[in-house]
């Protein structure tokens, strides 16, 4: 390769071997032109010493080289045109000497380098989009109803849909039948006005499960400021929303517990305390039945002093008396430690000596004590599939401690 051309390539930061085959052919042509140019200069210096016949031959060769150079220029222009695209045309700068093959070859190498770097940048962006944990969709704003033309793996994993059920659809399919959401109107207005937006909306997975979507929408314009695409980024924030809702619930529970504590402190009789606890219970958590048992050591039994809940209708308290030390309630009075027992019907202690089994699904029992003396128990149960949580266990523990 001509040494001058090799230095030009190195100065542009391009390796000859990295050039496409078509460009390498043009570069080779330029190199040969450089070599001939060097020979021509030497020939000119010696021309006064050449015979007339030698000058004729030299002129013929120069004419041939001129023809070859014209072909080279045409090839270089074709290569430059081949690098152009609708979105990124390659145009010669104003005042550019398009008849100079060296200048043209330099320009071609510069544009190839720029295109190569741009393609590498696009590949990096594509890798980032595909590897991010946020779901990303791109819709075509130039087509009716903004159909999705791209979605990354994170989007598919979050929604549970395969790509073939996503591409070509509008993103609204994730709303299912849940259309009445303030955030959806914000999205519609942003699209109408060709703007971006950031909302939190309810979306639905392929399984039908709802999830909270922290959704960011951004329009993409081309060089002529024509709207081409919308990029949507979704983040599943269901866990965060549930934590916030739980915090709100717990705050309300704590405020209710303060009211309960105030009423218990103001109560003058045991009956008033029992009434406060059992009637305030429904404001704190859902339940089916609640009971307060006291030990009757002389009779060797546990007697209910209060039975409450939608499943109790004018209960006969004496009918619910149980032998001391039996069942889950008797076991907890004996141990002095409260327990949260979900799926209580499977607990071996749920079976009484007469063969009867406790009729409950989930149960929380706390002992009632004065100092170290355990004199009874406070029990709350649910017949539904909803199990008790640790937070609810603590609420009931507070009621049992304050009430006793």
pLDDT in tens, 292-311: 888 998 899 998 887 877 66
Which residue matches tokens 């400021």? 225
Q: What is the CATH number of the domain that holds 162?
A: 3.30.450.20
Same domain, 260 and 371: yes
Contact 261, 279 (CB under 8 A): no
Q: Final residue of a domain: which of 193, 209, 236? A: 236
Within 10 angstroms of residue 105's Cβ, the number of other Cβ atoms is: 25
User: What pLDDT does 207 receive?
Assistant: 92
Same domain, 170 and 270: no
Same domain, 323 and 370: yes
Characterise 22 by phi-psi region: left (phi > 0), alpha (psi -120 to 50), beta (else): alpha
pLDDT in tens, 92-151: 667 766 666 666 556 666 665 665 555 555 455 565 556 577 888 899 999 999 999 988
**Secondary structure letter of residue 267 according to DSSP:** -
Burial status of residue 375 (CB atoms within 10 A of its CB: 0-12, 13-18, 19 or more): middle
Which residue matches tokens 């309300």? 252
pLDDT in tens, 199-214: 999 999 999 999 999 9
Same domain, 197 and 330: no
**How sure is the predictor about 87, in pLDDT bands with cuts at 50, 70 and 90?**
low
Same domain, 232 and 249: no
Q: Final residue of a domain: which of 236, 260, 281? A: 236
Contact 366, 377 (CB under 8 A): yes
User: What pLDDT does 163 receive?
Assistant: 92
Same domain, 256 and 363: yes
Mean pLDDT of 354-360: 60
Counting every residue, how long is the chain?
A: 404
Same domain, 178 and 230: yes
DSSP E strands in 190-251: the ranges are 197-204, 210-221, 227-236
Single pTM value for the model: 0.44
CA–CA separation, 140 vs 219, rounded Å?
A: 10
Same domain, 15 and 47: yes
């Amino acid at each position: 390769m001509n040494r001058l051309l090799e230095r030009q390539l190195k100065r542009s930061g391009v390796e000859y071997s990295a050039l496409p085959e078509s460009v390498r052919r043009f570069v080779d042509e330029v190199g040969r032109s450089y070599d001939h140019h060097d020979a021509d200069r030497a020939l000119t210096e010696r021309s006064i010493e050449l015979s007339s016949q030698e000058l004729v031959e030299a002129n013929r060769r120069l004419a041939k080289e001129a023809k070859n150079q014209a072909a080279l220029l045409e090839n270089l222009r074709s290569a430059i045109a081949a690098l152009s695209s609708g979105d990124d045309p390659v145009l010669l700068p104003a005042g550019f000497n398009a008849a100079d093959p060296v200048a043209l070859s330099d320009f071609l190498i510069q544009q190839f380098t720029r295109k190569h770097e741009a393609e590498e940048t696009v590949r990096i962006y594509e890798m980032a989009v595909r590897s991010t944990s946020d779901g990303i969709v791109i819709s075509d704003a130039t087509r009716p109803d903004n159909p999705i033309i791209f979605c990354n793996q994170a989007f598919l994993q979050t929604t549970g849909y395969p790509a073939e059920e996503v591409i070509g659809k509008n993103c609204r399919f994730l709303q299912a039948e849940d259309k009445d959401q303030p955030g959806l109107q914000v999205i519609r207005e942003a699209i109408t006005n060709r703007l971006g937006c950031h909302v939190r909306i309810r979306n639905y997975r392929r399984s039908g499960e709802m999830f909270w979507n922290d959704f960011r929408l951004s329009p993409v314009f081309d060089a002529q400021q024509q709207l081409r695409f919308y990029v949507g980024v979704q983040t599943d924030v269901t866990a965060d929303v549930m934590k916030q809702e739980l915090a709100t619930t717990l705050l309300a529970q704590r405020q209710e517990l303060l009211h309960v504590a105030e009423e218990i402190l103001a109560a003058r009789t045991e009956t008033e305390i029992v009434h406060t606890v059992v009637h305030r219970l429904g404001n704190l958590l859902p339940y089916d039945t609640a009971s307060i048992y006291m030990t009757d050591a002389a009779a060797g039994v546990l007697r209910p002093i209060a039975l409450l809940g939608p499943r109790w209708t004018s209960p006969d308290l004496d009918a619910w008396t149980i032998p001391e030390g039996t069942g889950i309630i008797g076991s907890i009075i004996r141990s002095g430690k409260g327990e949260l027992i979900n799926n209580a019907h499977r607990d071996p202690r749920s079976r009484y000596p007469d063969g009867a089994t406790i009729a409950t699904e989930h149960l929380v029992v706390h002992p009632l004590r004065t100092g170290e003396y355990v004199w009874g128990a406070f029990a709350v149960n649910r017949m539904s599939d909803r199990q008790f949580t640790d937070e609810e266990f603590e609420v009931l523990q507070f009621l049992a401690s304050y009430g006793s």
